[in-house]
């Protein structure tokens, strides 16, 4: 019974019950969707304030602006190298296994949903992407909940305070108190995580039926296998080089990964990850900068998804797609894969933006992927979360801002079995008292 009190066990049970309900009673399962939407909404509500407080407080410890510049350079360099490796791996796999060959889907009609997404993606430009980082007003960044805009404001505020604020500044004390309150609110919200995961997974399975689990199984299986290879081999090698264990890091964030599994959204993990990675020995400034930035620039799962999806569409629609064209598309996707939303379907929108930009592949090929996008989105979010967790630890070690003893102590704490409630002590037997004593 003590094991049932652990969050990841409760979430795992909720996911299993959600899948069962989706298969056995689809109509009822679809009605559970508001539970998942509400839970994601509650967490997204906290994203902006938590990122702001964590980044600002982290940067106030950086008194040398050259240190901040060095941290940003290292983080962005790491992001670009790893996402490029992920994208290249996706292209290699899709060319070797050719999951779309033989489908001959040359006469596809554009569905209303795909048309709407394509029209949204058609407005993507490189200049527009960089300009979108600057919000109209400071309040607007928080109102829209755009991670890049909030991060931009947070870095400016943190840099200004680190240069001009005194250590006993009431502004800093207020931000510290706000952060404490936000994490306390987060603790309240996480108590209903199993309900949110149940609602999200039940609605997804119920809406598409059992076909969701088998349709385009070859493509889905190839994507999952490629992502697993990337996590265990590529990220595992990176961890080994940094003298870390990928399996320990996965165990560290297992609760967050199960939440992502149920909701197909990486955003649900961000607030808890920021808190947990600091407890695991990573410097507050590194966590506060690298993790939010990684959610926009270090999207390993998105990179793999886009590479495999582009190759699949070319094969399925019998469109010639030379090696030179693939390299050109890869260069474009290094930009289009960045930024944007991390909720379910975000990678699909970025893929549409890529096809709109390239024009070498039929846009109606997106319809082939629309039915299995929910399955693909789950794997994408899981890979992105693991990739960003590894990024924080690697950059922290690179900056000599990692406390190994603190990490080992925290891993021992979360790995220890939950203690059983203490049994009431038995009443002492009455002692006979002799007369005269």
For the segment 100-128, what is each residue's pLDDT rounded down to a tens digit? 777 665 654 444 444 454 455 445 555 66
- Does 331 or 17 have the greater pLDDT score? 17
The more confident residue out of 433 and 367 is: 367
**Do 205 and 374 contact (CB within 8 A), yes or no?**
no
Rounded to the nearest integer, the mean pLDDT of the chain is 77
- The full set of domain ranges for the chain reads 3-415
Range among 53-67, 329-343, 348-362 rated most confident:
53-67
The pair of structure tokens assigned to 433 is 């008292």
Say how many residues make up the chain: 437
Q: Which of 21-35, 88-102, 355-369 has the lowest mean pLDDT?
A: 355-369
pLDDT at 370: 61
How do residues 27-69 score in pLDDT, each as one tens digit?
888 888 888 888 777 877 877 787 788 777 777 766 566 777 8
DSSP states of 195-207 as a string?
A: HHHHHHHHHHHHH
The CA distance from 197 to 18, in Å, is 8
Distances in Å between the alpha carbon of 317 and those of 321, 333, 340, 375?
A: 11, 20, 28, 22
Query: What's the CATH code, domain 3-415?
Result: 1.10.3860.10
pLDDT at 84 over 80: yes
Mean pLDDT of 224-233: 95
Spatial separation of the C-alpha atoms in residues 93 and 308, rounded to whole Å: 7
């Amino acid at each position: 019974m003590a094991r049932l009190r652990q969050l990841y066990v409760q979430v795992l049970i909720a996911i299993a019950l959600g899948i069962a309900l989706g298969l056995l009673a689809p109509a009822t399962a679809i009605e559970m969707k508001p539970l998942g939407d509400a839970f994601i909404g509650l967490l997204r509500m906290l994203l902006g304030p938590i990122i702001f407080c964590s980044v600002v407080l982290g940067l106030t410890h950086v008194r040398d602006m050259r240190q901040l510049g060095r941290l940003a350079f290292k983080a962005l360099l790491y992001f670009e190298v790893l996402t490029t490796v992920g994208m290249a791996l996706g292209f290699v796999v899709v060319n070797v296994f050719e999951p779309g060959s033989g489908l001959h889907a040359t006469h596809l009609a554009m569905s209303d949903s795909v048309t709407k997404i394509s029209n949204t993606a058609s407005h993507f430009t490189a200049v527009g992407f960089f300009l979108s980082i600057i919000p109209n007003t400071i309040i607007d960044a928080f109102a829209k909940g755009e991670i890049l805009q909030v991060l931009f404001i947070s870095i400016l505020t943190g840099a200004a305070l680190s240069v001009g604020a005194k250590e006993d500044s009431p502004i800093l004390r207020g931000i510290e108190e706000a952060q404490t309150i936000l994490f306390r609110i987060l603790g309240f919200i996480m108590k209903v995580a199993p309900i949110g995961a149940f609602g999200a997974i039940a609605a997804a399975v119920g809406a598409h039926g059992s076909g969701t689990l088998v349709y385009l199984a070859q493509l889905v299986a190839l994507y999952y296998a490629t992502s697993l290879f990337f996590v265990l081999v590529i990220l595992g090698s990176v961890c080994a080089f940094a003298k870390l264990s990928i399996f320990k890091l996965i165990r560290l964030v297992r609760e967050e990964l199960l939440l992502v599994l149920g909701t197909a959204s990486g955003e649900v993990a961000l607030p808890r990850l920021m808190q947990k990675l600091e407890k695991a020995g990573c410097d507050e400034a590194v966590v506060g900068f690298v993790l939010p930035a990684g959610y926009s620039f270090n999207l390993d799962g998105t990179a793999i998804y886009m590479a495999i999806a582009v190759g699949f569409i070319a094969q399925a629609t019998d469109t010639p797609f030379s090696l030179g064209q693939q390299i050109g598309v890869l260069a474009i996707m290094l930009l289009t894969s960045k930024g944007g939303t991390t909720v379910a379907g975000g990678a699909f929108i970025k893929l549409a933006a890529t096809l709109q930009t390239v024009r070498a592949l039929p846009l109606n090929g997106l319809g082939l992927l629309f039915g299995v996008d929910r399955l693909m989105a789950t794997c994408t979010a899981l890979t992105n979360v693991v990739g960003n967790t590894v990024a924080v630890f690697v950059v922290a070690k690179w900056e000599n801002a990692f406390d190994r003893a603190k990490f080992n102590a925290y891993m021992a704490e979360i790995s220890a079995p939950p203690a059983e409630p203490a049994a009431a002590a038995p009443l002492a037997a009455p002692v006979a008292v002799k007369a005269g004593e």
